[in-house]
Structure formats: structure tokens, C-alpha cells
Chains A and B, each alone.
Chain A
Amino acid sequence: MKYFNLFSNIKVTKGTVRILVSDLQRNVSELYPLELYELIEELKISSIENLLDNYDDESKVLVKEYLDFLLKKEYGFITKNDWDKNFPPLSYDYHDYSTISNLYIEMDNIDVLQRIKTSAENLGIKHLVIYSKQPFTLKEFVQIDTIFENSLLEGMEIFSPFHDNIDVVFLKNLNKKTARIYNLVFYNCKTNPFKIKDAFRFTLKFIKQNLKISSCGKVNVDYFNTNLSKVLEAINHNSCLYKKIGIDIEGNIRNCPAMPKSFGNIRETSLEEALNHKDFKEYWNLTKDKIEVCKDCEFRYICTDCRAYTEHTHTNSDGLDISKPLKCGYNPYTGEWEEWSTNPLKQKAIKYYNLETINTRELQ
């Protein structure tokens, strides 16, 4: 008798109308019908021969096809006489040495970075996202890059307005003189971006729109990530706010610059002090499994949540907003994607966040 053993790093997430099979080693997720979920569960309790006996001839062919597919993708392997009991399950614990893993800062002056430099070092911050309202000179970019030399910072991405001095020479200099920047986005770029043949140390984008902090929070396939570390974080914690800290344009310390609660201002309060505020971590453990609609969605561990912009429909007994993200157009009950900004059911929330004007500008 032959037995099918599913590899422990294959995760099956059951949605309402279909399932997502995530290969947590090769970092790929794919959608399949619910019947595959049933089959995988049955294969855990019956031998392949016994399982096939339960199906009629037509279904037998389908089951065999599924089995071949599972083996071809290396989602499992076959053993004789019994399952191989020496394969323990994967632990779903998430470990992170940082106290705060990422900082998202909205700024118009780079002095603010000097002010938080020591805190960033102490908290073990690994990634920095800068949204700047002012354009940066080459000198300023280099300055930003070197401020964090003493820290555990592993990378940074910078959103800043496009300006006329940005040309191939500027970018080549940036490429030579900076080390930590992995992504650069120049927004408000009205002219056509010039052709760039060189490959840089960072990815580069030129965006026409005038981006704002309120542009954030989108949930769509482009922002899905399948990898073990990210999925483990999403299973155990809130996939956006866990170990995140934000500073808005006025210096207020929040969970993210777009969240409503402030925990002090960096002029008088350090990041560590804000972190110790009793409510700072209130959303950190709000997983997708506790959020309305999301808990029935097959994408819930590979997407990234947003608590700043939600449909504003449900609050839990602790006063936490457990509504579905506003900017997610997916309906797990039908399996279909829709444009969120024009959905009539979301207009009330859109008004609540004053997003109407931002919307139309972005859709142009």
C-alpha cells in the first residue's frame, strides 16, 4: 500500500470558495478548488489505494491527476506500508530579534533622522521607509545613508518628489555613494522619465501622481508575499503593525503615520518611551484570523493588513477596529476582485477618511 506524505513547508489556507496552496520554501502561492483541500485531508488518513476505492471511475481519474500534480510540484512524496513518521511538522513560531523591526517616517527635514538615530540603533530597527515632502539633493541622500552606519539597519526605501536635477548622472552618483537604499520612488514626476539602461543597486520608479501618506494601505495581488518569515508573522501577529513604528510630518509618534492615536512627539518623547505607552502595542497581535471577512479569505497570510484605512464596520470588545481593509477589493465569498474606490458600500468609509479627493486624483 502506498501513502502520500505532504511536506511540512506546504501550507494550505482554506478560503470560502477556494484554497491557496503556499510553498513556503520556494515562495510561490497558487489557487486551487476546495476539492483539493478535501483530498489532501483524506490523504492524511487513508492509503492511496483505500482512498481511490471510495471514488467512481470518473473521479478516480481526477484524483490520480491531482496526485500526479502534487508529486510533480514536490508538495509531497510517496512511502510504502505507512506514512514516514520521522517528519515532524513545521513550528509556526515567529522569532525576531528586533524590538521594532521597521520605521515609517513622513518628513520634510532630514534633521529628524539625527534625532531618532540612537533610538533606531537601540531598538534594532531593520528597515526604514522615508516619505519626504521635500526633494532631496544628492548630498542629502548620502547623508541619510550614512546616519545609520552604527545600527542594524539592513535597508531603506525612499519616496521623494522628482526634481529637474535628477538625471542619469545623479542616479549614477547615487548608485556609487549609497549602500543601504534598495528602492527609490520619485513621485510627482510630470515629465516622461528618461530611458535608463544601467542596472542600479536599487530599484527605481518614476510616478506621475502626487503621492501622499493617505495613498498607503492598498491590498492587491502586487503586494502579496509568499515566504516563510512573512507568513509566520501573519499567522501570529498583525501583518502590518507588528513591531512597526511611525512618525508623521509633525513629529507625532504613531503605529504608522496614518493611524489616529499619537503616543507623544519626538520633540519631547523618545521612540522607546512611546513604545512603552500602554496602548502602543494594542494592534500588534490582531491577526487576520480575528478580522471580519479576512478570516474567511484564502489570501489572509500572504497579504499585508491595513488598520489605518478600514471599512469601519466592526469593533471588538477591546475597542479595536476589526473591519476589513478599505482598499481591498477582494470578496472571499464570491472569489472576485472589484475596484474598491467605486464600491458603493465603501463610500461612507471613504468619506470618513477624507479620501474622496485623493481618489479622483489617483485615478486620473
Chain B
Amino acid sequence: MILIVSKNNEITTTEIIKWLLSMGKRFVRVDEDELFEIKMLNGKFILQSERNNFFLDDITSVWYRRGGIKFKRFCYDNEAINTHMYEAQHWLEEYVLHLLESKKHINKQTKAHVNKLLVLEAAKKVGLDVPNYFLSNTTQDVQLGKTIVKSITGNVILQNLTENTDGIMYTAVVDKKISKDFFISFFQEKIEKDFEIRTFYLEEKMWSIAIFSQNDRQTQLDLRKYNTENPNRNVRYLLPKSVEEKICKLMKALELNCGSIDFIKNGDKFYFLEVNVVGQFLSLSDTCNYSLDKVIANYL
């Protein structure tokens, strides 16, 4: 049985489940708000929530798509006992997660989020070309028009910033110097694009897509400013073997076996930008007929 850890509203998860159903593969879908109790029956671990219950031994593969498995923590009246039991429960939970992570899996709960700064260092280490970057609290070293400023968070959407608005933090070119200093920010050299590449990676296999975002002013700097009326051209692409080998090395170093990797192509160089562990890939997979939903369902 396949354990899928996701959120109720995650569409990609639902699409893969449709393939699992057609393949006759059994699964359990765990939601972000489910709380599990760790129990035992006849010496075997069983996880139980309001919606689901399953034996750990029955699980053959795990897909950490979003969120993670949350456990119900019991509280005790006596403070000393409570502190003791808090620790005991913590170790037991960690052990259960470890048991799950030793099964066949797509990503791990403990590795679901990556530090972008550490990833860039790892990328340089495996020999990928990385655009020059630096951290600073002033615009002193910024070259106007040639330096971009980018968020180091995974999520760039600020929901409900005000009552009627959301804020979105797209990559931006720094166009003026500021006299004051600010919270340490991430700056990077702006690379001219032939086009961008997004590569979906699963267990050493890769599927790449070229995204022609550079001709559309709206998407030129950040392709996430999707032009829904005239979408960027997305077509199949094949990265050179040397780049694919480095991607494998990088993903292994980050202990990830699945994710999307973004590049900018400029002439003969492929500039690494970032790894996205929970990124959306289905719409790109559909335009290029890669059937990644079927690929994932097959793998699980």
C-alpha cells in the first residue's frame, strides 16, 4: 500500500491517484490536518487518525508531496510526568518517521524544505555554473540594471497581505540605490537568457522542458508572472549529459530523489538557479506529453 502525504486541495496529488486507481494500486491519502496516534496491535505499529488507519508494515512506498505526518501528543497533568512523556513521545514519533523513510519513497518528510543558500553552495561544489551571488544589507555592491534581488523563501506569496490583496515577491532587477540599510537580502548577477529550462528529476531520471520566457516582457524576468492569454512556449528539451550527471550528484548531496531544477541557458552555459522540491510540474508535463503523473504512479 502506498502512503501519500499531501494536502486536501493539492490537484497534482489527485491526478496521480487517478493513475494509481487505474493500476489497481492501493493507497492512503493523508491530509495536512490529520493527527495520528501511534498504536500497537499484536506487536505491530498502527497509525490511526479520524479518517485513516494503517499498519506500518503494510506500507510499501511513501510519497511526501506536501506537509507531513502530524502526531497527536498526549499531555499529562503532573508537570514532571508531562515533560518526561513529551520527550518519550518525540523519540517514538521520530522512530516511526524513520521506519517510513526507510521504505521506498519519493522524498522525505525531514528533507521537504531546502535552504536556497546551501543549495547554491552544493551546486557550485558539484561543478554546476551558478550566477554570481552575494548577501548584503546595503545596495553598495549592486550594479543597477544588472543585479537582481530575490527572496530566499520557498513561498513567494504573501496571502491576505491586506483585506483585499495578496503580495507576490517576484524576482526583480534593482533599479535604484538605497541610502538606508535593510534586512539582509539576496542579490544575484542577472543572466541574459536564450531560454529557461525546468528539469523534473526522479531517481536519476530526468525530463527537461525549455521555456521561452524571454520574448514576453511580462515573463522576461520571472516566468511565474504567467501570461495566461499567450503562454510562453514550452517544449521538450534534452540537457547535455555532463549537466545531467551534475544534477544527479547535486540531488544525492541534498538527499533528494525528486524535484524540479531550474536553469537559464546562455550560449553554451547552463546556469543553475534553484531546486524546488514541491513545485508544480504537471502543466509542463502535459504540454510536452511527458505523462509524469503516470511515471510517478508507476514508480510508487
Residues of A that sit less than 8 Å from B by CB: 7-9, 25-26, 74, 77, 86-93, 95, 97-99, 124, 152, 228-229, 232
Contact = CB atoms under 8 A, between A and B. Distances in A.
Contacts of B234: 9, 25
A26 B231 contact: yes
Interface in B268-300: 286-289, 291, 294
Interface of B: 18-19, 21-22, 210, 212, 215, 230-231, 233-240, 286-289, 291, 294
Contact of A26 (B230, B240, B291): B230
B238 A74 contact: no
Given A99-B22, A228-B289, A7 B238 contact: no
Contact of A87 (B21, B22, B235, B291): B235
Nearest to A126: B18
B118 to A, nearest CB: 30
A26 B233 CA distance: 9
B21 A124 contact: yes
A312 B72 CA distance: 69
Given A25-B233, A25-B234, A86-B240, A97 B18 contact: yes
Contact of A228 (B236, B240, B286): B286
A152 to B, nearest CB: 6
Contacts of B289: 90-93, 228, 232
A124 B291 CA distance: 18
A59 B207 CA distance: 41
Nearest to B234: A25
A74 B287 CA distance: 15
A41 B263 CA distance: 31
B22 A98 contact: yes
Nearest to B208: A86
19 contacts: A7-B233, A8-B235, A8-B236, A25-B233, A74-B212, A74-B233, A77-B212, A86-B239, A87-B210, A87-B235, A87-B236, A88-B237, A89-B236, A90-B236, A95-B291, A97-B18, A97-B19, A124-B18, A124-B22
Contacts of A93: 289, 291
A301 to B, nearest CB: 15
Most buried by B among A90, A95, A97: A97
A304 to B, nearest CB: 20
B186 to A, nearest CB: 30
Contact of A9 (B21, B235, B294): B235
A234 B106 CA distance: 34
For the complex of A and B, the 8 pairs showing the least CB-CB separation, nearest first, are: A97-B22, A86-B238, A95-B291, A88-B236, A97-B19, A8-B235, A97-B18, A91-B289
Contacts of B238: 86-88
Most buried by B among A89, A95, A229, A232: A95
Contacts of A90: 235-236, 288-289
A87 B237 contact: yes
B231 A25 contact: yes
A315 B237 CA distance: 43
Contacts of B287: 9, 25, 228
Most buried by A among B210, B212, B235, B286: B235
Contacts of B22: 97-99, 124
Nearest to A121: B21
B281 to A, nearest CB: 16
A37 to B, nearest CB: 21
Contacts of A74: 212, 215, 233
Contacts of A26: 230-231
A97 B21 contact: yes
A93 B290 CA distance: 9
Nearest to A122: B21
A294 B251 CA distance: 50
A74 to B, nearest CB: 5
B214 to A, nearest CB: 11
Nearest to A25: B287
Contacts of B240: 86
A155 to B, nearest CB: 14
B129 to A, nearest CB: 16
Given A26-B230, A228-B289, A232-B289, A86 B237 contact: yes
